[in-house]
Each structure stands twice: as C-alpha cells, then as structure tokens.
C-alpha cells in the first residue's frame, strides 16, 4: 500500500472511530396463478401483523439481557478505562431503562458485529490454498504480495486500533454527553428520521461540550502522522480549535465535532431502532399467531405453510462493476477477444490521446498490465479465476446485454439510484445530482469526499427519497455496508467499512458473511420448528371438543411453540438483503481499470467473485436458495487515464492573464487522488461575491457554477447569458462558452449547458465541442417523453455524440442490427422535425439507437442532465484517455462507453427467461426486486419510482 493510502486509511479510521424495458402494465405478480400463494404470508404480515400503525416501542426488557464481553452491562462499564466521575455517572444512570437499553444494545452491537475477528485477508488465504506459490508470484501487484513461505494465520485478536477498551471507553464518554436528556433518551416512540444538529442554543452548547473531548484525541493522531497533506489538514483542525478562532466561518474544529456528534448519535439511535423493531416484530408475530389460533386455526395453518415458501431477495450493488469487462474476462478461455484486445491496443497507442498543445501531464502511478497483456495474446484457462461469474454467464438470460449508468457516471449520484430505484429530480427523487453541487437556495456548497458524506441521507430524506428498507418495513431486512439504511432491521455501517476496509481487507465482507452464517444455522432450526408447529396444529385441529382436556393441553403446547418460534424467527435469514461492495472502483482509480490489481486472479474482481460465491453458499445452506431472487448492478464503469489536464489553469487562469482581470474563483472539490474536504454544516462559507464555483469529479466531469442570470443570483444562467458573461472585476463581456470550448478543444469531448430553462416536463441543452479543429453546436430538446437531437448548422447531421460509429469494444453489428440502427437513425435524426414534437423519437427509441454505438443511452441522459437545478451551469466532459483534475489512472463520471456500461443482472431459481434482456438501466435493480418481494406492480414515474421493473422480462416463477 502506498504511503498516501496508508495515511488516508489512518485518517479515515480516526475520523470514523471519532467521528429499454417494456412499459406495458402487467398484473401484479401476486395475482398471477400459481405465484399468488407465494405471497400469502407476505400480505398477512404487511396488512395484519405489522401494519405500520404504531411506532410505540416498549423498553421493559430485563437489563440482564445485555452482556458485553461476557459481562452484564454495569459490570462491563466498571472494567473500562473511564475517569471516576464519568464511570460513576454512567453506572447511576443505568437505572433508567431507556438510557441503559440504548447504551447496552449499542455496545453489544458494536462488539458483537465488529469485534471477534482477526485482520487476516481471507481472499489471500484462499488463493494460497488453490494456487502454487510460483503461480501466485506471477500475479503479484501493489495490493497483493506473497512471501516464499506463507505466514501462519495470526491467533491474536483484532488489531487494538479497532475494537478495544479504549475505543469503547471513548464511545461511552461521548454517549454520556450526548444522551443526557429526554430528547435523545428514547424508549417511547421512534422518530421516522434522525434529527441532525442545528443552530439551537442546546445544540451549540453540546458542540462546545464535546469539542474539548475530541481535540486531544486528534492531537494524539496528529503527532503520530508522517508529514504530508493529511497531517496538514489535521493541523488546520487543531488551529481552528484555539479560542480566538471560535467564531471563524467554516471553523474546522467545530465541523469535525458536529460530524462526530451526528455520526455517533445517528449510529446509537439506529442501533437502538434495530433492537426495538426486532422486539416489536417478535411480539407482533407472537400476538397475532396466538390470537389467530383462537379465532381461525385454519388461517394460522395456511400462514405457517406459506412462510417456508415466501420470496427472498438479495440486492448487490458493486461500485465500478462494468458488464462488458466482466463478460470479456469470463470469456478468457477463448481469449483474445475484442474487448480485451481493444483495451490493450489503446494502452499501447495511448499517445494518440495526448491533447494537442494544451498543458497536460500524466498520472503519477504507472499501470501494471501484465495480465491484460497475457489475455490479449492467448487464452487463459483457470478454474479458480472468476468461478462464480463463469457459472453466472453459463445462463446469461437474466444479465442485461447493455446496461447503462446515469450521467454524470459518478457514484454519489448513481449509488442511491441503484439502491433505491429513484431518479435524481422531482418528488421522491434522491436530490443528489453529482459528487458536489451548489445549493443556491441555501447558499451552501456540498462535496461528499469528506464530512459532507454524513449529509447524504439527510439530503435524500429531504428530497422525499425512499429506500427499499423504507418501502419494505414489514419484512425482515439487513444491510451490509450500504447507506440509506436507517430503517434496516440490521446493518453494518457503510462509512465504517469504507474507512477501515482499505487497510483491513475483507473487513465488511467477513462481518456480513459471519452474521449470515449465524442466521443460516438459525434458519434451519426455524424451519424445523415451523414444521413441528404445523404438524402439532394439524393434530390439534383434528381433536374433538368432546375431549376438552386434550384440547386444552394441546392448545397450551401450541402456545409454547408459537412463543418459541416468534422469538427465534427474528434471528433467521433476512427476507431482503442489500450488499454494497466499493472495492473494484476504489482501487481502480489508483491503479487503472485494466490493471493487475483489478483483473488478475489476485485482483479485486476475483476477490468480489470469491465473496459472491460465499454469500450464495450461505443461502443454499439455509435451505432458501430456490425462492431467492438475486440482483446485482454496478453504478458505473471506469476508463483509463493517460493524460491529465486542469481546466482551471487552461481556461480560467489563462482568461485572467489574457484579459488582464482577476476572477473570483472558488474550488469546492479535491482533485482525484487528493484528500477529503471539511465543511462546517452549521457555519459554512457563502458563495456570494464569487464569479465561478468549480468542482471536478473522478476525472471524467468538470462542473462550473456561474451566477450571472438576469433573473436572480439563485437562477441558473442560460447559454445566451453565458456568452455575455461579465465577471465582477471586468469591464468587458466574455463569451465563456467559446473561451472554454476553444481553449480545451483538444481535450474536451463536449460541454453541456442549458439552452432554455429545464424542469421535469421540458428542457433544451446545447452541446459544444470541436472535431478536427471545427466547432460544432448541437441541441438536445425534450418535451415530455419525446426527444430531439439535432445540429444547429443547417443541412447538417449531429456529430458530437457520434451515434452511428461502431463500438470497438463490442463485436461488429450483424446485418439485422445494422438495419435496425439505420431505421432508428432515419426516424430520429432525419425524419424528426424540430417544429413537430410528435415526430420526435421517444426515450425507448433513443436508447435502442445508442445501444449500437459507444455511448449507451447518451441522448436520454443528456436530455435529463439538468432536471435537477443543482446540476451545475456548465458541465465539461473530457475525451477518451484524458482526465480533468486528477492524479490517478482510472476515471469515471464521463461519457465514454467504459464509464457508462454498468452491469445489471439477475439470477437464481426464480429466473426462467428464455432469452437475454437487451437493454436496461442500473436504476431498474431495486424496482425489480421490490416487485418480486411485494407481489405488487410498480409504475415508472409514480410513487417515487424513477425506473421500470425488469421482472416481466425475467418471467419469474415460484419455487417448488
């Protein structure tokens, strides 16, 4: 691991420890003959047992229930290295059940879910059992090294920097400060959402009380760090902690204190909700089954029989999982194939991407492409390489041949889309258009690599977004390392996994799988007990009332069985599981998307394959695989960067020099490969008085916000205003569009700007770019579901999106495909009349046309780029091989095929489709799984669903 990554991992640890589907409407799947019985118990649970009518939670459980480290809660507190006053105060307050249960469950959860594991790399250990040492040495890279003699697995407990008494004592001290009043000591009602800190007097006093606890800990971390960017950032935090800086705007000491309080309090309350909801579910099932035994034993019998057959689902979201790459690697037995050969040739000929005379550099990291070279030259046969994916592609009917990600193809935008099925804009949307944005109504800039990451769920909730956990509260749900899981009944924290998983490999995967293994064993016992209850209930129903003693005795035994089953059932396998894996994307940025670190047998994709196989095996062991629908999607792909360029230097600094003016430029992001930003959520800096706010995303998108609209500072300026831009220190107007497009003509694919105001109903955006030295201006116009793409030059076809060019990474088009492409091109590009929107193509036609080329769904995505007002004023997308504001060799957020090609796929016994799904968006993952679990039919653009379900195309059937 590089020094940079070690430093970042250390800082993140400290911060976290401290701080084209069919639109035809079909019958709901629950109404389909044969399938309906599958949903019998689900409907009863939703409508009768857990109807959502009350969030009242009892806290009358025996406090001896909680043991931490084998000790009762009070005894455990006594063992911690706390100061005497804190220890005495906490012990005294344990008499309050609400206070004690929250604390007890949080500590038991923290140690139970995260403790008890060593820090051994499980995937590496697996490789040592299936490969010879000589083979492994040929697959070494910067993330995986082997010694001649494998080290013995450590028998030592978890690294002391993770879960130890000092950390627990710190958490208890913070808990004592944070949960010392009735507002936060729960036990009566559960809030629908977490209430973040605000500028109230009480919260300001709390911040002032916690900050002195935090600063000495950060100072200790600062002392142990090597000189560099991260130590400098911590130094700035410590400087802001000085009394004379208390009222400073964007005070960073206050910022990290606020984030720490929100993070710890959010985690404690979420943990308590999980305990309380599990108890609530157990009690509700027990009460309903007991009452139904009295009122309608036959209904209880039907419910129990249906329970064993109820649908289950696993939703996997993988950062950076690209369908074309995975399919090419799976086909390595027949290598070289077109995808891998093209990737290798592009690297060999990378000089072709050099952006002319523009001031460019190159990524610092030299890519290691030994395995790609091997695959580009000859077949590679290896049963231990991608075995899970190879089995999956043996029956590819559920895998979408051409998936697509939303533009900009950035994680912070696409992850909530993929996890929840919501669009970005409009009612029920995510409200998150990019990795950064300026909220003009708040006068607040957001950048989500840093403590603003804690604001994501808040923004999502304020926008009306609903997660799968929000939509399925009546099911047993579990979240493994995924955000937007406030209503999950069990969850492993996403930010904790990101902060620790880079240094402690398999951190989140091991803990998730460990919990699933425990639940799989319980599931077997649950099913056995349920069958025994069914048999006993059947016998009971056959007893005659003429034998009252037998009837009474039989009922008493049934009630005992019901109580036992209700209590055990909550420890079984989840009905719905969401898994998030960030690592293929995370490491591809630093090493390149086709590097050995990603695609070799020792790389991240084979590691992902290993854990997918392990997870699938647990479901088979639990006996529920046959009724489980599996779905997986990537949020985007990645493309290699060979040359880097800074538009701030190339455009804005050059403008200042050439025009002799000073521009007020505010940069709100880090360059890709740099460290995080710290923002004070309650005292953030204003953007007033700024000419332009700039931000870059993952090397593939560069966004500018300008404020020269004739209407107001809050209004996004249009093209007609931007060509007459007058900075505050300039007496001259500047055509900013021409300046940007011309000064970046060798590196810019195209820029996108609003031609007219945009909303959900209509929009017109202008694309500007150069080809062979000539400027092209083109429009994408949208009215309702109809879209027009045209050139602004008379008698000219649009050029910039290059829709009719072949995709060099895919097989040549067949004769039939070429005919389909030409028919669509005629309809959409030639026959469509600008003055007649009815003649324009719809979104399905544009998606089909774009699928034949190298820009999946490009027209539709750009037509909706500015649905959300906070999507910036100008978006720059660099050409292939070029990265804007980046230091690393992997990029996304741009418009290249490799970035837009997202994996979307479904598998499992319920999938019976006979032919492969041709087109789909990653946002269809959640609605498809929702339909399968709920038995309901969703409609795109209604009830917060932004994408269609693909369930009808999977032809899902019931398990036997």
E strands, 432-553, are: 436-439, 444-447, 477-480, 491-492
Contact between residue 804 and residue 887 where contact means Cβ atoms under 8 Å apart: no
Mean pLDDT of 815-832: 97
Average pLDDT, the chain: 89
Residue 343 pLDDT > 50, yes or no?
Answer: yes
**Length in residues, the chain:** 960
Q: Is residue 308 over pLDDT 80?
A: yes
Does the structure show a pLDDT above 50 at 22? no
Nearest-10 Cα torsion for 38, 40, 44, 46: 40
Residue 753 or 164, more confident: 753
Residue 374 has pLDDT above 50, yes or no: yes
Q: What is the DSSP string of 757-801?
A: ---SSEEEEEEEEEETTEEEEEEEEEETTEEEEEESSTT----TT
Type and span of the H or E element at 754: strand 748-756
Is residue 58 scored above 60 in pLDDT? no
Structure confidence at residue 84 (pLDDT): 86
3-state secondary structure of 451: helix
Q: Choose between 103 and 832: higher pLDDT.
A: 832
pLDDT (tens digit, 9 = 90+) per residue, 384-416?
999 999 999 999 999 999 999 999 999 999 999
Does the pLDDT at position 508 exceed 60?
A: yes
Q: Judge whether 872 lies within some domain.
A: yes
Side-chain-side CA neighbours of residue 671 (13 Å): 14
Q: What is the DSSP string of 892-923?
A: BSSSSHHHH-B-EEEESTT---SS---EEEGG
Exposed/middle/buried for residue 24 (C-beta within 10 Å: 0-12, 13-18, 19+):
exposed
- The least confident of 271-275, 405-409, 710-714 is 271-275
Whether the Cβ atoms of residue 655 and residue 226 lie closer than 8 Å to each other = no
Task: Determine the average pLDDT of the residues in 304-317.
Answer: 96
Task: Decide if pLDDT at 342 tops 80.
Answer: yes
User: Is 953:913 a contact under the CB 8 Å cutoff?
Assistant: yes
What's the number of CA atoms in the CB half-sphere (13 Å) around residue 475? Answer: 27
The answer to whether residue 92 sits within a structural domain is: no
Q: Is residue 793 part of a domain?
A: yes
41 vs 925, residue with greater confidence: 925
Strands 748-756, 881-884: parallel, antiparallel or unpaired by DSSP?
Answer: unpaired
pLDDT for the residue 7:
47
| Between 171 and 260, residue with greater pLDDT | 260
**What per-residue confidence (pLDDT) applies to 70?**
59
Cα–Cα nearest to 863, from 796, 783, 939: 783
In a domain, 448, yes or no: no
Give the tens place of pLDDT for each residue, 424-481.
999 999 999 999 999 999 999 999 999 999 999 999 999 999 999 999 999 999 999 9
Confidence bin at 5 (pLDDT 50/70/90): very low
| Position 638 pLDDT exceeds 80 | yes
853 within some domain: yes
Sheet arrangement for strand 762-771: 665-667, 692-697, 701-706, 874-878, 748-756, 762-771, 774-783, 786-791, 841-842
- Of the listed ranges 543-557, 641-655, 710-724, the least confidently predicted one is 543-557
Q: Are 703 and 696 in contact (CB under 8 A)?
A: yes
Residue 297 covered by a domain: no
What pLDDT was estimated at residue 220? 85
The residue among 932, 650, 813 whose CA lies nearest residue 28 is 932
- The pLDDT of residue 224: 84
Report the run of H or E that residue 402 belongs to, with start and end.
strand 402-404
Burial class (CB in 10 A: 0-12, 13-18, 19+), 160: exposed
Q: Please give the pLDDT value at position 93.
A: 80
The residue range of the domain holding 891 is: 654-897
Please report which confidence band the pLDDT of residue 130 belongs to, taking 50, 70 and 90 as the band edges: very high
Question: What is the mean pLDDT of the segment spanning 641-662?
Answer: 96
Question: E strand or H helix at 313, and its extent?
Answer: strand 312-318
> Which has the minimum average pLDDT: 115-119, 525-529, 621-625, 804-808?
115-119
pLDDT tens for 889-918 read: 999 999 999 999 999 999 999 999 999 999
Residues 882, 356: contact at Cβ < 8 Å? no
Residue at 728 is within a domain = yes
Average pLDDT, integer, range 766-777:
97
User: Tokens 């005294």 identify what position?
Assistant: 92
Q: Which residues pair with 920 in a beta bridge?
A: 403
**Average confidence (pLDDT) over 805-818:** 96
Write down the pLDDT at residue 29: 45
Distance, CA of 781 to CA of 840 (rounded, Å): 10
Q: Are 827 and 840 in contact (CB under 8 A)?
A: no
DSSP at 847:
H
- β-pairing, 919-921 vs 402-404, is parallel
Kindly state the percentage of the chain with pLDDT values over 90.
Answer: 71
Q: Is the pLDDT of residue 946 over 50?
A: yes
List the alpha helices (DSSP H) in 21-121.
Answer: 40-44, 73-79, 84-93, 97-109
N-term to C-term CA, the chain: 49
**Predicted pLDDT at 442:** 96
Instruction: Spell out the residues 6+ positions from residue 212 whose beta carbon is closer than 8 angstroms to its own.
Output: none
274, 488 Cβ separation under 8 angstroms: yes
Q: What is the predicted pLDDT for the residue at 190?
A: 64
Percent pLDDT > 70 in the chain is 90
Q: Is residue 50 part of a domain?
A: no
Contact (CB, 8 A) for 268 and 175: yes
Count other Cβ atoms within 10 Å, centred on residue 132: 8
Number of domains composing the chain: 1
Q: Which carries the bigger pLDDT value, residue 478 or residue 87? A: 478
Please give the pLDDT value at position 181.
55
266 has pLDDT over 50: yes
Is 55 buried (19+), middle (13-18) or exposed (0-12) by CB count in 10 A? middle
User: What pLDDT sits at residue 685?
Assistant: 96
* β-pair type (874-878, 71-72): unpaired
pLDDT at residue 165 greater than cutoff 80? no
The stretch 94-123 carries a mean pLDDT of 79
Confidence of residue 163 (pLDDT cuts 50, 70, 90): low
**Secondary structure of residue 478 in the 3-state scheme:** strand
Q: Look at residues 414, 388, 451 and name the one whose alpha carbon lies nearest to residue 250.
A: 451
Residue of 365, 626, 621, 666 lying closest to 516 (CA atoms): 621
């Amino acid at each position: 691991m590089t020094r940079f990554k070690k430093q970042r991992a250390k800082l993140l640890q400290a911060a976290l420890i401290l701080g084209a589907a069919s639109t035809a409407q079909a019958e709901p799947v629950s109404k389909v003959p044969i399938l309906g019985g599958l949903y019998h118990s689900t409907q009863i649970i939703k409508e009768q047992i857990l109807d959502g009518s009350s969030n009242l939670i009892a806290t009358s459980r025996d406090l001896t229930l909680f043991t931490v480290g084998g000790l009762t809660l009070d005894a455990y507190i006594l063992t911690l290295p706390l100061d005497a006053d804190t220890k005495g105060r906490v012990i005294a307050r344990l008499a309050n059940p609400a206070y004690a249960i929250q604390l007890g469950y949080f500590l038991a959860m923290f140690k139970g879910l995260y403790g008890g594991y060593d820090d051994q790399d499980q995937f590496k250990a697996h490789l040592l059992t299936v490969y010879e040492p000589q083979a492994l040495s040929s697959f070494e890279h910067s993330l995986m090294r082997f010694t001649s003699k494998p080290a013995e697995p450590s028998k030592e407990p978890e690294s002391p920097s993770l879960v130890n008494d000092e950390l627990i004592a710190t958490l208890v001290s913070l808990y004592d400060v944070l949960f010392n009043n009735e507002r936060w000591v729960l036990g009566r009602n559960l809030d629908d959402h977490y209430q973040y800190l605000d500028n109230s007097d009480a919260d300001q006093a709390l911040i002032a009380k916690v900050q002195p606890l935090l600063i000495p800990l950060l100072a200790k971390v600062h002392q142990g760090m090597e000189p560099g960017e991260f130590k400098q950032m911590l130094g700035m935090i410590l400087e802001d902690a000085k009394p004379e800086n208390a009222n400073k705007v964007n005070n960073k000491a206050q910022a990290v204190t606020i984030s720490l309080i929100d993070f710890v309090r959010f985690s404690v309350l979420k943990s308590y909700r999980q305990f309380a909801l599990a108890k609530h579910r157990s009690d509700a099932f027990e009460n309903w089954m007991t009452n139904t035994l009295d009122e309608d034993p036959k209904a209880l019998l039907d419910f129990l029989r249906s329970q064993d057959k109820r649908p289950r689902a696993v939703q996997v979201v993988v950062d950076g999982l690209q369908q074309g790459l995975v399919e090419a690697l799976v086909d390595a037995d027949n290598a070289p194939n077109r995808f891998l050969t093209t990737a290798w040739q592009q690297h060999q000929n990378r000089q072709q991407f050099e952006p002319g005379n523009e001031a460019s550099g190159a990524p610092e990291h030299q890519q290691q492409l030994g395995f790609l070279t091997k695959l580009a030259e000859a077949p590679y046969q290896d049963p231990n390489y991608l075995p899970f994916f190879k089995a999956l592609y043996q029956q590819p009917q559920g895998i979408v041949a051409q998936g697509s990600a939303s533009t900009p193809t950035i994680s912070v935008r696409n992850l909530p889309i993929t996890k929840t099925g919501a669009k970005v804009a409009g009612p029920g949307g995510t409200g998150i258009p990019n990795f950064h944005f300026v909220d003009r109504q708040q006068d607040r800039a957001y950048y989500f690599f840093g403590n603003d990451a804690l604001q994501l769920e808040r923004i999502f909730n304020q926008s009306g977004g609903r997660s799968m956990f929000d939509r399925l509260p009546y099911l047993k749900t579990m979240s493994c390392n995924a955000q937007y899981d406030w209503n999950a009944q069990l969850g492993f924290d996403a930010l904790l996994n990101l902060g620790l998983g880079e240094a402690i490999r398999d951190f989140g995967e091991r803990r998730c799988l460990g919990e699933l293994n425990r639940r799989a064993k319980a599931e077997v016992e649950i099913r056995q007990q349920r069958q025994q209850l069914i048999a006993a209930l059947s016998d009971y129903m056959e007893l005659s009332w003429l034998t009252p003693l037998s009837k009474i005795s039989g009922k008493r035994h049934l009630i005992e069985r019901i109580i036992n089953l209700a209590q055990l059932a909550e420890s079984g396998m989840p009905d719905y599981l969401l898994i998030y894996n960030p690592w293929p994307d995370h490491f591809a940025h630093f090493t390149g998307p086709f590097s050995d670190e990603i695609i070799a047998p020792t790389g991240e994709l084979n590691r992902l394959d290993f854990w997918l196989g392990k997870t699938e095996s647990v479901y088979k062991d639990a006996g529920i695989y046959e009724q489980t629908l599996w779905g997986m999607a990537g949020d985007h792909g990645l493309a290699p960067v060979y040359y880097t360029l800074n538009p701030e230097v190339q455009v804005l600094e050059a403008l200042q020099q050439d025009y002799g003016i000073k521009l007020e430029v505010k940069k709100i992001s880090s360059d890709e490969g740099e460290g995080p930003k710290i923002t004070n959520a309650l005292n953030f800096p204003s953007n007033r008085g700024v000419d332009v706010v700039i931000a870059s995303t993952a090397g593939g998108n560069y966004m500018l916000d300008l404020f020269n609209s004739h209407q107001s500072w809050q209004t996004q300026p249009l093209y007609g205003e931007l060509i007459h831009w007058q900075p505050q220190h300039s007496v001259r107007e500047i055509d900013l569009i021409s300046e940007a497009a011309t000064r970046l003509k060798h590196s810019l694919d195209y820029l996108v700007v609003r031609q007219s105001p945009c909303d959900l109903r209509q929009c017109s955006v202008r694309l500007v770019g150069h080809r062979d030295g000539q400027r092209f201006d083109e429009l994408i116009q949208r009215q309702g579901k109809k879209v027009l793409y045209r050139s602004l030059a008379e008698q000219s076809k649009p050029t910039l999106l290059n829709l009719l060019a072949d995709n060099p990474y895919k097989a040549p088009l067949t004769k039939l495909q070429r005919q389909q492409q030409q028919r669509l091109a005629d309809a959409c590009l030639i026959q469509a009349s600008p003055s007649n929107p009815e003649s324009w193509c719809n979104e399905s036609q544009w998606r089909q046309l774009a699928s034949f080329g190298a820009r999946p769904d490009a027209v539709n995505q750009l037509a909706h780029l500015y649905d959300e007002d906070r999507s910036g004023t100008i978006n720059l997308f660099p050409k292939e091989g070029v990265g804007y504001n980046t230091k690393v060799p992997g990029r996304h957020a741009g418009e290249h095929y490799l970035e837009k090609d997202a994996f979307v796929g479904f598998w499992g016994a319920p999938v019976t489709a006979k032919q492969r799904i041709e087109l789909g968006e990653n946002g269809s993952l959640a609605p498809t799984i929702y339909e399968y679990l709920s038995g309901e039919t969703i409609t795109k653009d209604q009830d917060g669903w932004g994408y269609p379900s693909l369930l009808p195309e999977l032809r899902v059937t019931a398990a036997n």
